[in-house]
Structure 1
Amino acid sequence: MSEIRFAYAGTPQGQVHYAECGSGAPVVLLHQTPRSWDEYREVLPLLGRARRAIAPDTPGFGASARIAEHTIENYARGLLHLLDALGLDEFDLVGHHTGGVVAVELAARAPDRVRRLVLSSTPYIDAAARERRAARERRAARPPIDAVGERPDGAHLTELWARRAAFYPEGRPDLLTRFVRDALRVWPDVEHGHAAVSAYRMEERIGLIGCPVLCVGASADPYAFPELGPLTERIPHAGTAVIEGGAVPLEFQAGQFADLVAAFLDGAGVSLTQEMEPRE
């Protein structure tokens, strides 16, 4: 497999860190929050066999420069600055969870530059969804999932672990460790990305996407899988694919996910409907 390379690019929002693998036609991979390029650690070499796979740290996350304004629009703006710095006039685009929402905005801003778009475990955010999210927050007895108060004895670290454990497969503490490491890197601003998603007016932007789209759902993702239908219905030219047994962490289904993305980018029709079983 190709080795993963790392670099920084200067942008008007500060330096943006990215990892890349392979060469050829570029595909840009956007992570969920509060993650980093590391979410694509397994996927990069797989896609890098036939193309230049690039996984940036979204501005404000990972090793990229911190930013003052955490909005989906600002994330997309910063990533476009990165792609300008890399000289990428056209590219394929992939986003997972928050990264999918950012990918929607990026494709809406630069429809002439995005060739194909993959939205993985991506919620559809409209006025009704924003109100549901706000109502949940008003009713909640505790703050959002990753917002745990710092304590002198370090108990907040185990609380963060416990809150996230239900979203991760049993027997894979290594995946949860990688999440916690990324979350601590942006502490205490760990919830900013989730708040940006909740405020995004996707219904005003999604119709501007002009390229072929593949919406991918992971059947064991309790948060995002129910969103697969509502999202696909809003994109007339979108196909769907389901990874049976796939969970929240992309690393868990990296092989299946990379196979789907590669097939779609290689020209599989947008009417593609496919189910993939998890690999042993």
Structure 2
Amino acid sequence: MTLRKGYVPSEFGQLHYVECGTGGEPVLMLHQTPRSWTEYVDVLPLVGARQRAIAMDTLGFGASAKPDGPHSIERFADGVEELADALGLDRFHLVGHHTGGVIAVEVAARLKDRVASLLLSATPFIDEEKRRTAGERKPVDLVEPKPDGSHLLDLWNRRRGFYRDGEEAALNRFVIDALTVLDRVEDGHVAVRTYGMDLRLPYVTARTLAVCAPGDHYSLPALERFAAALGCETRVLSGGHVPLPEQLPGEFAETVLAWAAAG
């Protein structure tokens, strides 16, 4: 199916999105840090075959506007809300992966019944303990630019263990996205660690499913605790690691479509 690219205005500048398909209630997908819509490049046409599928570049990432000032989950959610309003998404299904899942929690807490369903993929659970120890966390993707370009290999190797042999094209997409925001590559992770998620979960009213890849040792250990705090169902998919939507696009898309249709 054809992917259609577009921009909408916002108070921060233009927001970039890509969509596919026209039928059914819209499905809006939010990516992890420091990625872009390309995390869903293989998922979009599969979801778009049955529903209108949209993947946006989070404010500050990809081809979306990159405003000055500190990033926060609340500001990321402002961008999502502005895009949804500009596209006329009066009611839509919301999908978020890793950081995108954290943003999706904030959006769902704000928009309530406007979010028809919520699918949170490998979404970390942020509570007071996580916020208290945020400053002790090691950088995830931060590299120091070097004149000889060796930082490119460093960036590659920081994520290499998440990808299997033969998945280098997906890893290339990660490197491209990270290089686009190299001066602020860690800011999304910082925003996640300082977000008051546990304080916002009671405001989420959408029917919610939390999923994770069995190899994602970052998010899987907290999956049941997160689900208990939110009061939602959980599912561990058949394989994959941190880049789950790229590794299992078929299973990921079917899970999205089945959950969207379950209500």
TM-score (norm 1): 0.90
| Number of the residue aligned with 1:14 | 13
Name the SS for the 2:248 alignment partner.
Answer: helix
Given candidates 203, 217, 225, the residue that maps to 1:222 is 217
Post-superposition CA distance 1:25-58 (Å, at most 9, x none): 1010000010000000000000001110000000
Partners in 2 of 1:135 and 1:179 — Cα distance? 25
The answer as to whether partners of 1:19 and 1:55 remain within 8 angstroms in 2 is yes
The answer as to whether partners of 1:220 and 1:244 remain within 8 angstroms in 2 is no
Given candidates 237, 242, 246, the residue that maps to 2:240 is 246
Moved more, 222-231 or 97-106: 222-231
Partners in 1 of 2:50 and 2:239 — Cα distance? 27
Name the SS for the 1:88 alignment partner.
Answer: coil
Name the SS for the 2:209 alignment partner.
Answer: strand
Runs of 4+ in 1 over 6 A off after TM superposition: none
TM-score (norm 2): 0.96
1:198-217 aligned at under 5 Å gives the runs 198-217=193-212
The answer as to whether partners of 1:247 and 1:253 remain within 8 angstroms in 2 is no
Shift, 1:113, TM fit: 1.0
Moved more, 164-173 or 183-192: 164-173
Partners in 2 of 1:172 and 1:88 — Cα distance? 34
Partners in 1 of 2:150 and 2:77 — Cα distance? 35
Write the letter of the residue equivalent to 1:100: G
Name the SS for the 2:9 alignment partner.
Answer: strand
Identity %: 50
| Number of the residue aligned with 2:131 | 130
Shift, 1:133, TM fit: 3.7
| Number of the residue aligned with 2:88 | 87
1:28-177 aligned at under 5 Å gives the runs 28-68=28-68, 69-137=70-138, 144-177=139-172
Shift, 1:70, TM fit: 0.5
Name the SS for the 1:116 alignment partner.
Answer: strand
Write the letter of the residue equivalent to 2:186: E
The answer as to whether partners of 2:134 and 2:190 remain within 8 angstroms in 1 is no
Partners in 1 of 2:181 and 2:200 — Cα distance? 28
Partners in 1 of 2:219 and 2:199 — Cα distance? 21
Partners in 1 of 2:67 and 2:199 — Cα distance? 25
The answer as to whether partners of 1:169 and 1:247 remain within 8 angstroms in 2 is no
| Number of the residue aligned with 1:235 | 230
Partners in 1 of 2:234 and 2:126 — Cα distance? 18
Q: Which runs of 5+ in 1 are unaligned?
A: 138-143, 269-280
The answer as to whether partners of 1:33 and 1:194 remain within 8 angstroms in 2 is yes
Shift, 1:7, TM fit: 0.4
Name the SS for the 1:34 alignment partner.
Answer: coil
Partners in 2 of 1:62 and 1:86 — Cα distance? 19
Post-superposition CA distance 1:236-277 (Å, at most 9, x none): 2x1111112221112001111111111111116xxxxxxxxx
Shift, 1:132, TM fit: 3.9
Q: How many residues align?
A: 260
